[in-house]
Amino acid sequence: MTDSIEPAPMNREYWDGIADLYQQETRISTHDVHYGPLLPGEADLVFLPELPEGAKVIEFGCGAGQNAIALARKGFTSYALDVSPEQLAYGRALADEADVPVLFVEADMLHPPADLAGQFDLVLSAYALPFADNPEEWFAAAAKLLKPGGQLVLSTGHPLFSASWMEFDDGETGLWVENYFLPASDVRTLDTGSVTRARNWPVSRIVQAMLDAGFTLDRIAEPEPLPWPTLSAEDRDICCPYWSDAWADLYDECSKIPVVLLLRGQKS
């Protein structure tokens, strides 16, 4: 059993509030690790490090833990941590459906349970970093979970995707960036008043925070989306582990600028 950490209430209430809609409208595979919308999964990108048989892994900021379930299918000892009990409830049902063991942990990412410190061979996180107050605290918290020599694989929002997509007078389209060095905060609010905030930090700040937390960086990627318009409905479900109709509508933008930044490193 893990000890209980009181999550930030407004953040938790927001993710609880959208759990039903998010899980119903977004197609997220439990068979392949996803890194972002409309992107190839691990089967094609091969971004995860080599791990020993039975390695202990945790999905950090997991939502319903579909990546944790995909890792459990590979035979790893799999944990999934998130602030939202409603999201985790979906995860438990999905793990039962997949008939794989996953331990779901309700906690704030910046304050993971103390008894998990130093236990893991891999911390995997897909698009959770933007919801932390700052990357420095987030990387420090992730590092505490890892054994010496443990690996971190991170997918986070690319700062270019925070820019505004515009159409100019001559019919050309492109980006307008107000301030790359301090991207605007994406504030999301529900009718109940619950709120969460996200920010896609500059690449240099993310990388420096990772290095300062004691990681070496051994791989970086800005993956391009799959050729969505050319894929059949069947191929979309087979090839793409994370998508929704809303993201499909943004394909033209996603095909020209990276949605996510992928980083892989090792704890020294």
Q: Which domain holds residue 104?
A: 9-267
Residue 37 half-sphere exposure toward CB, CA atoms < 13 A: 21
DSSP alpha helix (H) spans, 135-202: 135-145
Domain count, the chain: 1
Does residue 3 lie in a domain region? Answer: no
Does residue 168 lie in a domain region? Answer: yes
Does residue 192 lie in a domain region? Answer: yes
pLDDT in tens, 203-250: 999 999 999 999 999 999 999 999 999 999 999 999 999 999 999 999
Contact yes or no for 59/65 (Cβ under 8 A): yes
Does residue 193 lie in a domain region? Answer: yes
- Would you state the pLDDT for residue 194? 82
Tokens of residue 16, six digits: 């609880």
Does residue 150 lie in a domain region? Answer: yes
Does residue 93 lie in a domain region? Answer: yes
CATH code at position 31: 3.40.50.150
Does residue 117 lie in a domain region? Answer: yes
Predicted confidence (pLDDT) at residue 4 exceeds the cutoff of 80? no
What is the distance between the terminal CA atoms of the chain, rounded to a whole angstrom? Answer: 28
* CA–CA distance, 100 with 146 (Å, rounded to integer): 23
| DSSP-based helix, strand, coil % in the chain, nearest 5 | 35, 25, 40
Does residue 221 lie in a domain region? Answer: yes
* CA–CA distance, 107 with 111 (Å, rounded to integer): 7
Predicted confidence (pLDDT) at residue 157 exceeds the cutoff of 90? yes
C-alpha pair distances (Å), 210 with each of 36, 143, 146, 206, 221: 20, 9, 14, 6, 15
What DSSP character marks residue 115? G
C-alpha pair distances (Å), 203 with each of 61, 71, 89, 260: 20, 27, 34, 11
pLDDT in tens, 17-66: 999 999 999 999 999 999 999 999 999 999 999 999 999 999 999 999 99
pLDDT in tens, 132-143: 989 999 999 999
